[in-house]
Amino acid sequence: MGLWDKLMGEFIDVIQWIDDSNDTLVYRFERHGNEIKFGAKLTVREGQVAILVNEGQLADTFEPGMYELKTNNLPILSTLQGWKYGFESPFKAEVYFFSTRRFTDLKWGTQNPVMLRDPEFGPIRLRAFGNYTIRIKDAPTFLREIVGTDGRFTTDEITNQLRNMVVSRFANILGQAKIPALDLAGNYDQLGQFVLQRISPEFETVGLELTNLLVENISLPKEVEAVLDKRTSMGIVDNLDQYTQFQAAEALRDAAANPSGGSEALNMGLGLAMAQRMNDALGRSAQQPTAPAPAPQPAPQAAPPPLAPPPLPVANPYYVAVNNQQAGPFPMDELQQKAQTGQLTRETLVWTQGMAKWTPAGEVAELAALFAHLPPPLPGG
């Protein structure tokens, strides 16, 4: 091995990127004067892609692996440079490393409430937030469209733009879905999938892939939530009278358990009891009919109004003996149905209030009409 080969071996470049951060998307390998020696070792690890840029023009892209930068590995750069010096002199190029892993837990949220028309509450304002996951899908496109000449590009430099895209599409989808506010919690997954499908093509135009989007919460304004809590409390209480009695009993119990300091609890219990009494009195007075106002005297020439017909008498229900067992009582319409189906005959024993004993149905005057359309029993039957 000659002296020149030995010196060249000692000064061979090693180009690599070991990322110790969790937010770096793109890193430009720093080299003084951007000079890279012929035969340099380029190491691209899993979860990375490397791009060589020569004089502002994208030259070659490298997937994970180890490369020796020679003419057979750089066909595009070889064409651009011409390699006038027999492939032994340094060449100037920039090396950009792209992290292709997934960047998770990126936050999105509505800075201003989204105005919607709810079918139950009417016009309402909603706020929403969640998280999403991205990764670099097309490194050359991402370099041209977003990174440019940035030597270290992090997620903080693009999350604001991505968040605005997500929020804009989410507000649009939420307005078109017309899902009631109280049913939104059961549709978080569907909303996330709709936004993901709608916005993924826009991410791809800049070389990114939106792999996941989650809706964590959709909330109402605090004032509306307070009113909704009151409405929920009313639904839980249900019976106000029983709730008032319960509160009064609890206050009296606390007063008995604390004789020295129970005056306040006792006063509250007495107040609740008095309110209950007043509520009962008002309820009874509301139920009692008020005295009608005296009717004005009709003119002498006016005819008196016709009398209303008296109410029809209601027949008493009857008990029926079925297999020596008492059944009923049955109203008259059910007895008529039983007579038509043969379940009630003239010999069936019946009884109702006011009768001294069980009597065959055919001998009861009130029930005799039920058998008028039926023939009498055969002789000797």
pLDDT tens for each residue of 107-121: 999 888 888 888 888
Q: How far is CA 137 from CA 57, 60, 101, 143, 183, in A?
A: 20, 17, 10, 11, 36
pTM: 0.55
Give the pLDDT of residue 291: 54
Higher pLDDT, 229 or 168: 168
Q: How far is CA 22 from CA 132, 213, 356, in A?
A: 15, 19, 98
Give the pLDDT of residue 34: 66
For residue range 123-144, what is the model confidence (pLDDT) as tens digits?
888 989 999 999 999 999 999 9
For residue range 165-210, what is the model confidence (pLDDT) as tens digits?
999 888 888 888 888 888 888 889 988 998 999 999 999 999 999 9
Q: Does position 355 have pLDDT exceeding 70, yes or no?
A: yes
Give the pLDDT of residue 40: 83
- Phi–psi pair at 324, nearest 5 degrees: 60, 20
Give the pLDDT of residue 86: 44
Give the pLDDT of residue 87: 45
Cα–Cα distance for residue pair 102/206, rounded to 1 Å = 16
